[in-house]
Amino acid sequence: MANSQANFTIHTHKFSIVELASFIDLTPWHRFGFTATNAAILEAVEGYSVVHIVDLSLTHCMQIPTLVDAIASRQDGMSRNIILEFRVIPSSYTDGFANLIEQLRVQNLVYAESGEALVVNCHMMLHYISEEALTLPAINPNPSSSGSTSSYAFDVASSSSSSSLRTVFLKELGGLDPTIVVLVNEDVDLTSNNLVCRLRSAFNYLWIPYDTVDTFLPRGSKQRQWYEADVCWKIENVIAYEGFQRVERLEPKCRWVQRMRNANFRSVSFGEDAVSEVKAMLDEHAAGWGLKREEEDVVLTLKGHNVVFATAWMPA
């Protein structure tokens, strides 16, 4: 997991793939994003013969099989022979996924005239990139040691002092000319430099995972202890750490929308098919979960409170 690089006092369980899959199926927390963005991706890549998918997620690419299944089972009268190729590119949020960006730039994956699409799937991951203003000491003076290249490091170093690594990443992403970028994250603001503000935001949001766990895991079970320890880790990280150790830097949807627009992306509306599929998925879960539309975007709610948002973007 992305937070495994830091050494914190609360012990968290490292989920196996099977354990993680079972947790994902228990609530719509992740399935909401899978379902909504799969529908947006399907619409965006229609007519392309080759689709390159960059998966930036915490779920070990578990969305990809659901997307492939959706592509294969699309009801348009066409038969499809799908060939899958996987490649792992070592990269880290600590330098804004610099090595990933550079590898994509070098490979020049997108050839629209030859029917190739580039999809960037950002699921619960981008908030780990620092949103604090860049300062020279924060920039790695030896980019090769972290796998990033001189061109990306130059872009970071030459950015305005008011820019953040998060801003630089989004602008670099736009420079790759992706066919579609989908962004899913938790809808809460945990970035304030004021501890009291962060604590208030955490209190008003983190009751949701605790409330959720009551519906599917018995008290005292090992699985529940793992789940609650993970939430406790997040609380500790939000209120007890600063600088590079505070990695839980979630921002609300409105701020991500502004960031994407500033990076020269335009929003893509989720269609009625996407909304219908999400509603059908929510019917499989306990009462209280809901869906609402906010302009072009969709938001997962629990008892009327915003939980997770999903947005879709194309270069402007």
Residue 145 lies in a domain: yes
CB 122 within 8 A of CB 53: no
What is the value of pTM for the model shown? 0.86
- The string of pLDDT tens digits covering residues 186-243 is 999 999 989 999 999 999 999 999 888 887 888 888 888 888 888 899 999 999 988 8
Residue 23 lies in a domain: no
Question: What percentage of the chain's residues is helix, strand, coil (to nearest 5)?
Answer: 45, 15, 35
For CA atoms 270, 251, 62, 103, give the dihedral sign: positive
Domain that holds residue 44: 28-189+248-315
Task: Quote the number of domains for the chain.
Answer: 1
More confident residue, 144 or 83: 83
Q: Which two tokens stand for residue 77?
A: 């009268």
Lowest mean pLDDT among 41-55, 145-159, 165-179, 180-194: 145-159
Question: Own/partner pairs for 193-199, CB < 8 Å, 24+ apart?
Answer: 195/239, 198/238, 198/239, 199/238, 199/239
Residue 78 lies in a domain: yes
Would you state the pLDDT for residue 243? 84
- The string of pLDDT tens digits covering residues 164-186 is 999 999 999 999 999 999 999 99
Would you state the pLDDT for residue 9? 56
Residue 100 lies in a domain: yes
Q: Tell me which DSSP letter residue 49 carries.
A: S
